[in-house]
Every structure is written in C-alpha cells, then in structure tokens.
Structure 1
Amino acid sequence: MSCKVTPVDAATDGLERASHEVAREVAHEEIQDEMLDDLPLKADIRLLGRLLGDTVRVQEGEDVFDLVERIRQTSIRFHRAGDEAARRDLEALLPRLSPERAVEIIRAFSYFSHLANIAEDQHHIRRGREAAISGAPPAPGSLARSLALAHAAGIDTARLIGFFGGARISPVLTAHPTEVRRKSTMNREMEIAGLLDRGERMALTPQEKAEDEEALRRAVLTLWQTPLLRRIKLTVLDEVANGLSYYDYTFLDQLPRLYCAIEDALGAGEGAGEGTRDTDGPDVSLPSFLRMGSWIGGDRDGNPFVTADVLRETVRLHRSRIFAHYAAELAALGGELSLASRQVAISPELEALAARSDDPVPSHREEPYRLVLSHIASRVKATRRQLDGRGIEAEPYADAEALRADLDVIHRSLCANRSRVLAQGRLRRLRRAVDCFGFHLACVDLRQNSDVHERTVAELLEKVAPGTAYASLDENARVDLLVRELSTARLLSSPFVPYSEETRSELAIFREAAAAHRAVGPLVIPNAIISKAESVSDLLEVAVLLKEVGLVSADGTSAVNIIPLFETIDDLKACGTVMDRALSLPAYARLVASRGGEQEVMLGYSDSNKDGGFVTSGWELYKAEIGLLDVFRAHGVRLRLFHGRGGSVGRGGGPSYDAILAQPGGAVNGQIRITEQGEIISSKYSHPEVGRRNLEILVAATLEASLLQPEENAPRPEFLSAMEEISDEAYRAYRHLVYETEGFEDYFWSSTVISEIATLNIGSRPASRAKTRAITALRAIPWVFSWAQCRLMLPGWYGFGTAVEAFTQRRTDYGLAFLAAMYREWPFFRTQLSNMDMVLAKSSLAVASRYAELVPDPHLRAEIFGRIRAEHALTVKHLNAIMDQVRLLEGNPALDRSIRARFPYLDPLNHLQIEFLKLHRGQGAAADVAEDAAREEILHGIQLSINGISAGLRNSG
C-alpha cells in the first residue's frame, strides 16, 4: 500500500470474469511476453497502492501504516520464499492486535483487493483495445471470431440472419445475496476506473496528469471514509433499485450498440457497410433476440418479503427507468436533428406527424424533425403519467410498438432524403431500445416453491368442494382433477370466502401479474417458475392458479410460460419422465402450443451440487439435457433451457463461453437463458465496455453451440460410460462426508463463517429455508460462500480424487491415459476439470486448517479435516495427471500469477477473521478478551473480513 507495493502480477482477471474469456488467447502467449505486457497493470496497481498507503498514513497514523506494511511484507515473504518463520510471525502477530486496530488492518487489505480488481479490469480493456488496434485475430468469445468460424464452415449470411431471427438469449439478474459491497462503494470504484481509463486513452499534459492523480486521491480517500458494509438490511425494493443500476451502467446503452454491431457485421443493418452513402438500401433489421430478464421483485421462493405490493412497485420502477431513458434520448435527438425544411426535403408522413406537434418554440416551426420529436416526447410523457395513474395532457401511446412506429417515420424520412447517416446513430439505437425494452424494461419472472402452489390449490379446492382432500390424493388423481379444472371457465376463488394468509398472498401475486399484463403487455411478466418441481401436477397447479386470474383460459391458451425447475439429483434424473408425461397430456400440450410450441425447462446447479457434489451435479445436468432433448423431439416441441448458474464453480459458475460450448449437441439450438447472480453481476456489468463484451460472449457462444456443434459429434460411448462410473464414486464420497458422517453439521457450523454470514445485510432472503442447522435446509448460496471464506472451496472439487482413484484401480485397461483423452476430446469433461483447476488453485489447506481449529471437539476436527486433506491431495494428484501438468494452473500461467499474487493479501484477512471468530464465539484464550471488547466491533470486524476475502476471490458466491 506504500510506494513499495508489489502488484498483483496478473495479466488477466481469470477469477470468473467474462472479460477474461474474451482475452483467453493471452494464456497461450510466451510467459515472458505476458510479463512485459503486465507492466502497465503493475504501474496502475503501484499508483493505487501508493494512494491507499498515503491515505492510511494520513487518516490512521504512521503506526497503523507501518503495521500494515509489516504484515504485508511478512505475508509476501512467506508466499514467495516459503519462509515458515514468516508464517509463524504472522500467526503470532495478528492475535495480539486489539479489535479496533485489527479492523483498520482488515479495511486496508480489503480496499487493496478492491483497487487491484479495478486495475485488472482496466488491464483487460487495455489489452482488448491494443489487440483491436494492432489488427490481431479476433479472440474466442468475440462476435467477429464466431461469425468468421461460421463463414468458414460454409454457413452463409442468409442462414445466420435466419438463426438470429429464431434465437432467444436472456441473461437473468437475480438478487441472490453474495454481493457484499454497497452501491456507494461501487460508484467510487467506477470513478477510479474512469480516471485510469482516461489516462490510458488520452495523451495528458503534466498538469492534467497531476489533476487526475489528485482526483484519484480524493476518490480513494472517499472510499476509505465510506462504510464498506450496509448497516441496515436490504429490502426487496432496495435490491430492485440496485439491479436497475446496471441498466444505467451498461444495458440501456450497450445492448442497442451490440445489436447494431451484429447487424453491421452481417450486412443486414440499415445501410450496413455503406459508410456515409445516402442510398436507399433495404431496411433490414434483426428482431430483438436478446432481452434482459430479472427475478428481483418476483422471486418469492423462500422470501416472504416478495408480495403483490412489491411486485407492483417493481414493475413501476422498471417502467420509470425506461421512460426516463426515452425522455433523455428524445431530448438529445432534438438537439441533434436541427434540420431545416428549407435545407432538406421531408417525407409526407413526417410532415403529417409534424403538423400534430404543439411545440411552442417559434424557431422550431421550420425544423420538422424537432417538431416530431417534441410531439413524441409529449406522448411518451403522457404514457408514463397514464400508467402511473396521473393526469395526462397529450395522447398516450397504446404500446411500445406505436412509439417505435413514430420513430420509424423519422428513420424513413431521413433515409429517403439522403440523410441515412443521421438515422444510423442515436436514432437507430433508440429504435432498438424501444423494440428491446418496450415499456417494461426487463422481463420479470415469478418463482415459487411447488409446495406452496400445492397448499394453495388444496385450499381453493377444499373451499368449493369440502372433503376433496387434494393433498392426500395420489399423482394420477391429482392430474385428473387439475385437468378437469383447466377445462372449465369456472373459478375456484371467491371474494366472499376467507382464505389463509398464504393463499391470499399467492392469489394477490398472480392478480398483480395479470394487471401488469393488461397495463404494459405480456413481456412484463412472461414466466412462472416452479421451484422443486417433481411431478406433472406441479405444472398443472400453476396453470390452475394462472386461470384464476385470466392468464390461462379454458380453451388452453396461456399468456405465461410455465417453467419447471428441477434442482436435486433425483429431480434431474426424473425430469425427462415428468416432461414426457406432461407433454402427453392434451390439456398441457395445448398450453405449450399456445406459447409457440416452445417449452422452457430450468435446471438447478446450486441445489444439485449441494445434494450430490460437483462431479455428479455436472454429469446429471448433462444427462438431463440429453434426456429432455429426446423427449421434446418425440413430441415436436422446441426446448429452451434455463441454466440456474451461480457465481462460484460450486454453483455452476465458470467462464460462460466455455460453459455454453460444453452443452450436449442440440441442447442450445439458439435458445438459452442464464442466471447472473451476486457479485458476478457487478463484475460483469458495472463497466459498460466489459458489460458489452459479456453480452457479446453470450451471443457468440450461443451461435457457435447452435450452428458449429452438430449433434452427431457426440462424445464417444466409452467416455459416457467412464463418466457414469466416476460420477457414482464421487457421489458416494461426497454424500458419505456431508450427509452420512456423524457430527459433520457441527463441524461445518463451527469451522466456517456460516453463522456470521447471516448477519450481513446483503439480501432480503433468509439464509436457510427453515430454522435448523440441517444442511438439507440450508440454501446453496451461503453453503458455497462459507466454504470459499475458509479457503477450502469444498463444493467445487470434493469427491473427484476418490472417484478417479477407484476408476483407475478398477479399470486398469483405461487408466489415466484414457481420462487424459477424455479431457482433450470432450468439452464437457474439459470444462469440468478446468473449473476444478481454478478452484483448487484458490484453495489453501494451511489457512483452512486454522478454521478447523475452531471446531471444539478435537476428535471430530481431526477426523473430518483429515478426510478433507486426504481427498484434496488425491484430487490435485489425479487432476494434474489428467491435465498433463506438474502443478495447478500450469497451463494458464497468467491466471496462476493472478491467484498466487493475491494470497499475501488474502491470508492476513483470513487469519484476522479467525481471531475475530474466536472472540465472537468466546473460544479459548480469546474469550477473556472478548468480555472487554465491544461485541459490535468484533462482529463488524468479521463482516469486514468477509467483504475483503470475497473481493480477493471475486467468484465466491
């Protein structure tokens, strides 16, 4: 943190950043060249580290600064030279700190991690620009490379246009709580990033450089004086507001630009490739195949705070944000299109539209485009006021298509009168925004647990036909009863019948969704997702509830997609059978047909991992997709998969580009939805340029997986057999540890920060589904997050070593050479091992052993940590052998340097967290100190350390 700071030696982010995906080819360059390329990154980190060090010295005093430096240097000495004396010095020094002093140390190391992240992100942007300027070949994950591959494979432009015409891609923002930063902190970090970017792109004078450094100094000081953590628990609407921030940062501006780039690359844009020629080319545009989705405000699975009122306000907030954007863009267009009728001809339809304007500015009488834009702006304002229930002064638009039609009038007039180039800028992007975002901004999904739907339907049926006893019926009887209800226009609910609070709440949510459809259109809430879907009746229950509010009709028409979410290992195994039976029912098949013959199925990565471990979860997901493809092909229905991926590898995380390409052949087919969660949202979408690249990655990977990976290129049958054996062994090993070892729950709750994570104000949702310590009731997010904090990352690798050991011993004819061939030839297996490689590289058994010491029972501690240590060693051994490397991440030296360079800054945070946990829990010698220390300060120290470790690891939740 002083001018002596040794920077993070990373050339790439690599810590679950899609911007790393765009620059993946960097990993294959010569190491020496990479280190030379790192010099600008090192300079940025030295600068930020120096400014932080100066801030600490001035704000906290020379003694705190010296202590930070001593800890930093000691930690670096241990990691770079393996100096055991340095490790002992560190472990002896940290426990002697007072809670107040320790908090300042934690803050210093946490802020350094945040600043290093900013520098690394800017380095990605820098290298991407350098590659583009130098004319380097397009990188994997870029649209240019995907289109080049498609053309090389003989896919012509017409087929590509047809592909995009039928594609549907949707990143879905969720509020799952692993983002521990406050928005105020993120805003300052973005300011710092902007200043670094300015210095990179501009030749600054000495005075300008000094001014920018002073601005950086102010931003770092503001960061230091701004609380890292929230003191008040987030509400659902706070989460909605946070999610909307990313529309300002990235989506509203960059998504239209991405569409324009795709159209231009295909030669299908309006005047694409024509430069400034003002000719009347064909007016061709791709449909809006990429739309934003959101669970925030509609996901009530286990979250009692998502109510009908919250859903209504969520829709209003979304609406307000998009209308504000339209108003600003129309005003800017008005400033740009000052064309005078004396200077340029206009179309008759524009003239007619201008005549309807009541713009009072006299000079605008001869500026028809300004008159039209003023008229459109008045109508947009009136539309917003009408939807908000306020008075209007102009004619509102009936829908977004009507607004787009008026903008199209301007476009056609410009193109017809030799001003096409003027139509290709802000106007083009605004037209695309209206088409993509409509009046709703994002498609909000409803989600609820199937048990709640069951109870609601049971109560409704019991009220109209006492003695029905729906809950006691078997599956066949339930299906028959629900099908009969779907065929009649009769409603089950009545305003004159009293219902339980849960049933009232569920009906109110669905009624609010119906009201939103009437007000804004069907895209505002297009999906109803069923958590813990296990049977056909789970799907039909939702259809019955939708019928109660008019979103499903008795003739078999549905205004909403009914989407089952299969989460556990058993559910994944059964999902093909469930969907086969559902699609075989005429009543359900009619609902699907009314949705264009498409059925979406969501697959849960998090709960399946918690249930069966990393290896088995990935394999059962893969098999489930193959089974669903067969079922849907037999029924003539198009399948769209919704991947419920988290940020960490243990919850399905990893590079999105690789993950999409690793899907079975035919599973993508131009249709994919993927959740974006927690800190991954901010890491991907808080910077517009990085955000644009991440959106581009989704498009590029979907195109390649759909058009360049034919189904006949399936893995060898012996690969599938081997994976089945490995999965079975890994499942047994994982289940034996987590669910069959007596005392494991006590070990987990004692050796991790799971109890303290619940105190963080990082989300509105409770950490557990029930008030119990049972692992089965724990949500997957805090489960994975806790293991990341203690640096074990257990959900991302446990069981693989035992599985490979058993496989190679039993199948001596195959052995490791066979598994190495699987790794080289099969994208699914290669992606699994690559993600495991990263996770293991970020683990630290030395640090984890200190967390194990928090377990009061020495026998339990020795038994379980001993098993974890042995499995870790076995997993690393076999992983390296299969990947043909001597050590972890040998094939990705840039990522290896990035991770290793973070350890000296992470380890002190871990050690201090452990000491605070002892104080907080009153353990050992620390208990006496705890009595004299402020309990609030101790807990605050733990929470700050969670923030710092999360920042250092980046993809931890």
Structure 2
Amino acid sequence: MRYEEKIEKFRQLVENKFQIYNSLFMSLPYDKMSNIGMLLPFLYEESRVGYEKGKNPEEIMDEFFTKHTELETEEQKTELLFKIIQYIERQVVLFDSIEDAAFAELHSESDAGTLMQLHERASQEHQLEATRQKMKDFGIKVVFTAHPTQFYQNSVQRILHDLRTAIMKYSVTEIDMLLQQLGKTPFVNKEKPTPLDEAMSIIFYLRYVYYDTIGELYKKVKNSFGTDSFVPNQDMIQLGFWPGGDRDGNPFVTAEITLKVAEELRLSILKSYYEHLKDLRRRLSFRGVSEILETLSHELYDAIFKDDQSITSDQILKHINAAEKVITEQHNGLFLNLLQDFKDRIKIFGTHFATLDIRQDSRVHQEVIDDIMTKKSGLNSESISTEEKLKWLLETDIILDPEDFDGITKDTLENIYNIKYIQKRNGEQGMSRYIISNSDHIKDVLNVFALFKLCGYQEEDINMDIVPLFETMEGLDAGEKVMRQLYELPVYRKHLDRRGNAQTIMLGFSDGTKDGGYLKANWEIYETKEQLTKVSEDHDIKVIFFDGRGGPPARGGGKTHDFYASQGKTIANNKIEITIQGQTITSVFGNKDQAKYNFEQLLTAGIENDVFKNSKKDLSKKERQLIEELAEISFKKYSDLKAHPMFVPYLQEMSTLEYYGKTNIGSRPTKRGAGNAIKFEDLRAIPFVGSWSQLKQNVPGFFGFGFALNTLKKEGRFNEVIDLYKGSDFFKTLVLNSMMSMNKSYFPLTYYMKNNPKFGEFWTVIFEEYKLSKSMTLELTSFKMLMEEEPLSRKSVQIREKIVLPLLSIQQYALIKIQKKEGNKEAYEKLVMRSLFGNINASRNSA
C-alpha cells in the first residue's frame, strides 16, 4: 500500500469513525458530565493557540474559565476539571477501540515481517530448507509483566474488548450501549491492586486472546513451512509471566501469592482446554471417539473443580492419541485436523499456560545469605570475605527450615521449597527460572544456587535456570567477566550440563537508559551481547538473551522487529525473549489481530537474521568505532545533565514523579530505597521515564544524541555519520526510535519554566538539546518531519496528542497551583494523579 493510500485508509477507518462515534459520545447522558463534550473543544483551542503564543497553563486555564464558563469558586472549577478528565479518559478508550478494530485492514498479510512475506522471500531466494533448519531450534518468548503502566482496570479492559468487536460489526446500537456503560464505569481503582489482581488481569488476555492466537499462529507456521519430514517445534512461541513471581522491590509478592498465581495459571489453561473440548465434541461425535473425549472432559472438570485432583499434559495427550487412532482407522480421518489443532495446543501450553518466573534483587539475596550465616554458620558474615562466604555456602550440608527464620529470609526459603510443588502441578515449564536483578558479581548467581542446596535440593534436582540480569552500566561492564567465571566453575558448569548447556542472560534496557542515556545504553547492551556471545561460544554454551524492554524507546521499546532484524552475526540469535508490560500488552498484544501480527514480527525477525544475508546487519570496524565515539560523546552530555544539581529536584518539584506512587495502579512501590528522600539510583525506570513523558520532554529518548551528532559535524565528519545511517540497520533503528521519542515531545507546554528562578536554566539546557537533536536527526535522515516514513503511527500520535492536550493543560495548571501553594492542595494533587491515567493510556502506540 502506497503512502497516500495508507493515510487515506487511516482517515476513513479511524479518523472519520472517531468523529462519528465521538459525536454520539458527546450526546450521551452521563452522570455529572453533561455539556462537557461542548466545552472540551474550547479548552483544546485555548490550549493550542495559547501555547503557540507562549502563554503558560495557568493563563490558558484562567482564560478558559472566564470566556467559556460562569464558574466563580475554586471548588466549582476543580469539579469541572475532574469531569473533563473523566470525559477525555473515555475518549481515549473510544479511539483505542476504533484503531484496534481497523488493525486488520490497515495491515496486510504480506507486510514486511509477516510469515507470508518470509515464505515468499525464502522461496524466491531458495532458502526454504534453511528457514526450516532455523525453525528447528529457534523460538520467541514474550514475558508479561505487571509493571505499573496499565491504567485501565479490568472492567474497562472488558469494555474496550467488546467495543472493538461492536465497531468491527458496525453495530451502532451496541456501540451506543457500550459507550453508556463506559460513562458509568469507574476508571480508578479504590485501592491498589494486589499482585494476584494484577495476575488475574493478564490471565484474562491469556485465556481470551493468546490461547487462540498462538494456536492459530502455530497452525499457520505448520501449514506454511511444514512437510512430511518437518514439523515445527511446538515450543516455537512461548509465554512467560511475572505477576506473582516478581518480588524485586515488591514486598506484597510472597511465597503464598506465588503459589496462588501458579494455581490460577494451571486452572486457566485447563478451563481453556475444557471449553475447546466442548466445541471439539460437537464435531467428533463418532462411535469410539466421543466416549474417549467424554472421559477426558470429566477428568478436566475434576482437575479444575476438585482440589485433590490434578492432571498432566501427558495424561491429556494419552486420550487425544487414542481418539486420533480411532478417527484414522475407523472414520476416514474425518475432522482429524481439529483434533490435531487441539493436540498442538496441549503441547504448546502444557498445564502451565505461561512460565511463572521468580525475580529478586541480588542485594536482597545477600541480606538473606548474611542472615542465614549469622544464625547457622558460627561465622560473622560482616567480617569475612565474599570468597569465604561462597566457600561455606557451596560446601555446607545444612538443610534449613524456613520456620527458624522470619521476614524476607523465611519467605525466600519458603518460595524455593514451593518450586517443587509448582513444578509437580504445572509441569517443569510452570516454573523454570530464577532471575536475579542488579547482578554484577559471580556471587549474585551462586547465592541463588546455594539457596537451593540449603533448602534440601540435590544438585541434580535443581531444575531451574539461574538467570543474571545485567542492567546498570556497572552490571553490563561486568557481564563478560561474571559469565566466564561461572562457566569455568566446576559446580556451576555441572549445573549447566544438566540444563542442556544453555544459559539465559537478561539485559535491562530501562535501567540502562536511565543510567547511561539513550545511545550509550543501547550500544553498551549491543557490545555486552557480543562479549557474552563470544564467551559462551568459547565454553560451548548456547546463550539466550532475554531483553527487559519497556514500551517507549527510552525503555528499549520502539520498532521491535527492526531492532532484532538489525543484529548481526556477532550476537547469538538462538531465541528472542522480551518483556511486555502495562499498556503495551493492551496496545501491541491486546487483541487477536494485533497479537498475531506482532508475534509474527518477532518470529520472522530472528529467522531472517540467520537465513538471509544483509551487509547492513554487520558492523564494520570503522562503523563500530564511530558508534562508540558517538555513544561516549552523548554519554558525557547525559552524565553532565544527571550531575546537574537541579536534576532530581526538577523531577521532584516540576514533574509528576512523586504522584506515580500515590496512584492505585500497581502493587509495587515506585522506588527501591526506604525513606522519603529521593536518590537517583533508587528511582525505578518506569516513573522516571514516565515523568519525562508527562512533561512532554522525553529526555531519556534523545538527550545527548543531537550533541554527539553536532560534535562530529563541527569536525567536518558528518558524512561519516550519514554513511553509518545508510549502512547500518542497527544505527538506523536507533535514530528512528529516538525520532519517535522527540515526536511525542511538546515543549510549548512548559515554556513557562524557562522563567522559573530555580529551574529556568535547567529547563533551557533540555530544550536546547531537544532542538539540536531534532534538527540533527532530520538533517541526518533527510526527512522533512519526524517519523516521515511511518504515516500510520505519525497520524495516530497526532490525533492522540490532540485528545490529551487539554489534559496536559489541566495537569500543569494543577502542578503550578501546588508549587505556588495556592488553593486546595489535596484537590490539585488529585487532578495531577487523575490526569496521569489518560496521558499514559493515550501514549499506547509507543511500542
């Protein structure tokens, strides 16, 4: 589809429909929301024109109240603003639903990165057999996390799901009813969700989106590439799960919660099988087959509803194989394809549905180890060296009882004891890895290995992958040394032998970017992957990289297919594993059409990388040196900004940073450290990046990039950078992702800050770098505008930014009132928090 055709189709399918249904929306009789639809365009226009004229948000809001309302008291005004926020929140849901409904028509089966395109290209280039070979041991794993960037509570997500379906059916009556429901449904949790609530929210997607999506996608792969001698591996597309297992910085995730979530995952997949089997039995009503399936149905029912009953995937498959035999031998193979589809899903999902990971911070493990040693070893943990601690841990034959401890030590030990039970109920895939965040030393991995032994596990019974997560600049730098030491340690090497000589290593994009800035973090991770690939190959270990990527480019998001398709042969490509979180689950994998398309994009990116030769994937020595130089220059610029005395105070006083923790959207605190003082190193990446996004400044996505490009231009070397952009897919992807961050920036919103006596100079530093980065990247790409080559995304961003501009005005107005200590502080703080919701939800296309 040509550029103009895409824009026209988007206008017809999305923009026009939004105008039509929005007019319907405006006339609905919402409680306390009458006439808001009439006032909103005035607030938008006051904002748009006001910011262009350099007015501040307070002036804009005061003019809006004076010219378009007769409100006099502060209470009346804040009440109106709350109603406007509620209205805009619902407009965002409507736009989301319309855009989702148009997805299939805006994206073709033959788009770049689809299975059809992969098959066509492989056929034309005589690479079908090579593609099949790659498929034998290649796979993707999408790991769902509960990081607090999802502001839609479950009831709203259900409406979004139903609204999309109604829009696709053009059912105006149904749309009208759902919009009325939307108007009367609260958008805000009265209390923070528990980790179990978060898990159940994502399990909804497992059951009603991914069970069918992945089953159908596997069937598509099988039909496209399968032969008599080749059947694609059912582990090709896997799901991972963090809610209920991720205890890093979350005191509410306990051993008991982990058990409950594991059980919910098991019950959910059995319920999906039970429902699927009901449909299957309607077709497979033949003598000899119906009896087998009826028996299976009873066994599944008992496993779901009777506490003392469980069932394994092998038991289910035994029935399916028996039914398959009867159909083949007695009923001419009629409907055999339906039974085989069911069988494939059992092999894909087992009795686990998604693998529940455990994650904890290395520093917490050290506290636990020190507590154990103090009470059980007779040694003073504070006075002995790390080496002595490890020696004791690996050599002692003490078996610990969790009841001898309390607090985090007791819970950690109970959790490790529970793993055997979970693996028995859910299968080994139900829980098969333990992730250690903030890893930067060999002890971080060995502490966890030792904890298993202290809980009575024989070495051969530790059926878990122990996964270091390198996420800070120090951690990334230490990665190669840590892994070499581990590979050369006999006790750990034996563990890897038992795990198939495979090692998963996680890399954190979010904290890396927060720590080192956009370009430096991405290059550091690229180089770290190369080093880890080499050290793993040198020791005959198959390394699998698991990327902790967020939604926006500043947290490793952006063009996922392009990112993975751009990695050359110096980086191991055994599997693609990524985290998907918050609103990215809804926006990128939220319905079957989107999920199937984006799963395909990941799958083909990894396969293409090995099968098709492309010189733009491999960096030459000169290109590497140039990226290294740019990364160092940008890192210095970003480091200077971080070192600015106003950096943390600016975020604390001028942004929404402190309000993330007050919203009831996630069970996890927004910072790691205790106490009220905010230190940079304790800031979690999500509120850090999110606060810049709410300010429409998106600093972590561009800061230092323009400065680095301009430095080389001043040296008369800009042609080198242009050649790099044209010659390296990796560098091009970084540039385009950064441009996406800048496209979502809007500095007129905060122009007023340049006159602030405390922060004016700091704001100006950021604004000047934004202008420089924008002009330099446009010059580099020869684009006339940001995101020039992505008309659909750009148009979507444009409409969404228009919807939320009044919301941004309200948020800044409230922040100004709080800073000035004017009026009802509590009411203004609530306005700030509520406006967070719509702004984040409207930014859903950041991934």
Return the TM-score normalized by structure 1. Answer: 0.83
The answer to whether the 8 Å contact 2:754/2:761 transfers is no
The partner residue of 1:466 within 363, 366, 378 is: 378
Shift of 1:226: 1.2
Shift of 1:93: 2.7
SS at match of 2:87: helix
Partners of 1:535 and 1:623 lie apart in 2 by 18
- Which region of structure 1 is more displaced relative to structure 2, 105-114 or 217-226? 105-114
The within-5 A match list for 1:109-508 is 109-128=88-107, 131=108, 138-157=110-129, 159-199=130-170, 212-268=171-227, 284=231, 286-339=233-286, 367-384=287-304, 388=307, 390=308, 397=311, 399-417=312-330, 419-425=332-338, 427-467=339-379, 469-485=380-396, 490-494=397-401, 498-508=404-414
Change (3 A) 1:37 1:940: closer
Question: Any stretches of 5+ residues in structure 1 without a counterpart?
Answer: 1-25, 133-137, 200-211, 269-280, 340-366
Aligned to 1:862: 760
Partners of 2:351 and 2:801 lie apart in 1 by 47
Shift of 1:480: 3.9
Q: Report whether the alignment pairs 1:817 with 2:714.
A: no
Partners of 2:83 and 2:294 lie apart in 1 by 55
Shift of 1:309: 0.6
Tell me the amino acid that sits aligned with residue 831 of structure 1: T
Change (3 A) 1:550 1:148: farther
Partners of 1:890 and 1:259 lie apart in 2 by 34
Aligned to 1:42: 15
The within-5 A match list for 1:556-567 is 558-567=462-471
Shift of 1:762: 0.8
Change (3 A) 1:845 1:687: same
The answer to whether the 8 Å contact 1:665/1:710 transfers is no
Shift of 1:951: 2.4
The answer to whether the 8 Å contact 1:557/1:591 transfers is no
The answer to whether the 8 Å contact 1:179/1:678 transfers is yes
The partner residue of 2:442 within 536, 541, 546 is: 536
The within-5 A match list for 1:862-941 is 862-919=760-817, 921=818, 923=820, 927=822, 929-930=823-824, 935=826, 937-941=827-831
Tell me the amino acid that sits aligned with residue 945 of structure 1: S
Partners of 1:712 and 1:181 lie apart in 2 by 41
The answer to whether the 8 Å contact 1:249/1:686 transfers is no
Change (3 A) 1:285 1:882: closer
The answer to whether the 8 Å contact 1:665/1:711 transfers is no
Tell me the amino acid that sits aligned with residue 154 of structure 2: K
SS at match of 2:236: coil
Change (3 A) 1:458 1:52: same
**Deviations 1:302-345, CA, capped at 9 Å, x for gaps:** 11111111011011111111111122122222222122xxxxxx
Shift of 1:75: 4.9
Partners of 1:511 and 1:285 lie apart in 2 by 35
The answer to whether the 8 Å contact 2:576/2:602 transfers is no
**Deviations 1:422-445, CA, capped at 9 Å, x for gaps:** 0212x2232122111111211011
Change (3 A) 1:566 1:86: closer
Aligned to 1:276: none
The partner residue of 2:423 within 495, 504, 517 is: 517
The within-5 A match list for 1:798-813 is 798-810=703-715, 812=716
**Deviations 1:763-789, CA, capped at 9 Å, x for gaps:** 100001123311211111110111111
The answer to whether the 8 Å contact 1:668/1:702 transfers is no
Partners of 2:231 and 2:784 lie apart in 1 by 54
The partner residue of 1:631 within 535, 541, 550 is: 535
Tell me the amino acid that sits aligned with residue 930 of structure 1: N
The answer to whether the 8 Å contact 1:668/1:705 transfers is no
**Deviations 1:669-715, CA, capped at 9 Å, x for gaps:** 23121100111011123212211212222211121123335899621
Change (3 A) 1:791 1:404: same
The partner residue of 2:63 within 78, 83, 93 is: 93
The answer to whether the 8 Å contact 1:619/1:727 transfers is yes
Change (3 A) 1:894 1:525: closer
**Deviations 1:830-856, CA, capped at 9 Å, x for gaps:** 111101111101101111334677xxx
Partners of 1:592 and 1:636 lie apart in 2 by 11
Aligned to 1:842: 744
Shift of 1:572: 0.6
Partners of 2:505 and 2:361 lie apart in 1 by 15
Change (3 A) 1:688 1:850: farther
**Deviations 1:250-285, CA, capped at 9 Å, x for gaps:** 1111111111110000133xxxxxxxxxxxx78946
Partners of 2:536 and 2:834 lie apart in 1 by 49
The answer to whether the 8 Å contact 1:464/1:492 transfers is no
Shift of 1:412: 3.2
The partner residue of 2:733 within 820, 828, 831 is: 831
Tell me the amino acid that sits aligned with residue 182 of structure 1: Q
| Percent identity (aligned) | 23
Shift of 1:154: 3.0
Tell me the amino acid that sits aligned with residue 373 of structure 2: L
Aligned to 1:273: none
The answer to whether the 8 Å contact 2:139/2:603 transfers is no
SS at match of 1:767: coil
SS at match of 1:292: strand
The answer to whether the 8 Å contact 2:221/2:232 transfers is no
Aligned to 2:74: none
SS at match of 2:577: strand
Shift of 1:472: 4.2
**Deviations 1:237-257, CA, capped at 9 Å, x for gaps:** 001110101012311111111
SS at match of 1:559: coil
Partners of 1:494 and 1:758 lie apart in 2 by 36
Shift of 1:918: 3.4
Partners of 2:38 and 2:757 lie apart in 1 by 41
Shift of 1:84: 7.1
The answer to whether the 8 Å contact 1:170/1:673 transfers is yes
The answer to whether the 8 Å contact 1:293/1:444 transfers is yes
- Which region of structure 1 is more displaced relative to structure 2, 376-385 or 533-542? 376-385
Aligned to 2:842: 952
Question: Any stretches of 5+ residues in structure 2 without a counterpart?
Answer: 72-76
Partners of 2:10 and 2:378 lie apart in 1 by 75
Shift of 1:171: 0.2
Change (3 A) 1:290 1:514: same
The answer to whether the 8 Å contact 2:753/2:763 transfers is no
Q: Which has the larger radius of gyration?
A: 1
Shift of 1:550: 4.6
SS at match of 2:151: coil
The answer to whether the 8 Å contact 1:752/1:851 transfers is no
Aligned to 2:697: 792
The within-5 A match list for 1:707-726 is 707-708=611-612, 714-726=618-630
Shift of 1:589: 0.8
The within-5 A match list for 1:727-746 is 727-738=631-642, 740-746=643-649
